[in-house]
Amino acid sequence: MAPPRNDLMAIAALTIPENPCKELRHAILDENRYYWETDKLELMTASKESDLAGKCFIFRAGLKIDKMSRWKISFVLDPTRPHFAHGRVNLCLELLQYDGYDTGMAGLEVILHSSQGWEWHFRKFNFTANCEYKPVKGQFQRFEKTSYVTETRSASMPFPVDYVVSKMSGRYIQMTVAFTLYDAKRYIHEGALTWDKKFKPDVLAMLNTGDGADVTFQTREGLLVHAHRLILCERSPVFDAMFADTMKESVIPVVHVEDMGTVGFRMFLKYVYTGELDAAWWKYCDEIVNAAYKYNVASLKDMCQELLPIVCKEDNCVELYQLAEVYGMFHTQRRIKRYMKRRNIGMMVDGGEPEENSNMCRIQ
């Protein structure tokens, strides 16, 4: 049974992104919310692991994407901690069944209902088949109920769940469990759209079908891509200036984009229409970055600066560093440079020779 409405604590967001692009978010695959009640006295008096064997909540996720996974939230006893309220009882998240879909991310909130505002959550973490049956321990952090500003403890010193429970009155503890699955490869810039999110499927359908299109682009391969000037002008000042004198013409103009292939250009348009990057964008990142700067799509430029270091690997880091250098993405350059130095990978400089202890000449 759900707790009274006035006892619920509103949660602003699951986690705070680690990058400075505050509006950058992973695309959500599935969301679930449950209510769970447990006996406080049984938690306090548990003396061995078997005493908490039944203190678990099992649920499924992934129904919306037809890729089911099974998860367990449970209270687990730490025998190395002798006293309750000092980390003896912990709350853990565990992946029980994995259907083999691409690597994703999971985020969890557990909200304890009381007269005070408490929130507990895992940070978003990557999960694969290797995460099965490996419980992840979570701890609480105290937030003010209205402003979400931390009190007394910082994020580096969170509370164990038994400490939180010990401060609560009443025999039974009521919790709200909010679980979210994310796509680790797909990103959304929340500030890219001004229309309601419910229209996103319709707008994307317009791009895919070309219905109502009033401009045609011809890509490097000579293929045609149809689009809508009104949407393009809203997202890009370059498109706005380009089509300023042709908006009222009945003839559909053809714009040649010889510096982009069809797949990369369609990915760019998908972002312009929806604020969402395709999952395979990194394969065409040079074209996406070029389009972002060529057409001055500010939110996409911000996103590229944050995401290039994320897709950085040993076989592409030099190319990504050079790409960031061409477009003046100095923050991105520094992050990629740190990645290369950690792996002893350098760049060949003009007139230089590879260093003895590196794969190439060290970046200067």
Between residues 21 and 110, which one has the greater pLDDT?
110
pLDDT category at 53 given cuts 50, 70, 90 is confident
Between residues 45 and 65, which one has the greater pLDDT?
45
pLDDT at 347: 60
pLDDT, one tens digit per residue, over 318-362 is 999 999 999 988 888 988 998 888 888 766 444 444 444 444 433
pLDDT at 169 over 50: yes
- The domains located in the chain, with CATH, are 5-187 (2.60.210.10), 193-307 (3.30.710.10)
pLDDT at 252: 72
pLDDT at 216: 93
Section 279-290 average pLDDT: 90
Fill in the amino acid letter for 161. V
pLDDT at 138: 79
pLDDT category at 149 given cuts 50, 70, 90 is very low
pLDDT category at 19 given cuts 50, 70, 90 is very low
pLDDT, one tens digit per residue, over 172-197 is 888 888 888 887 767 665 544 444 45
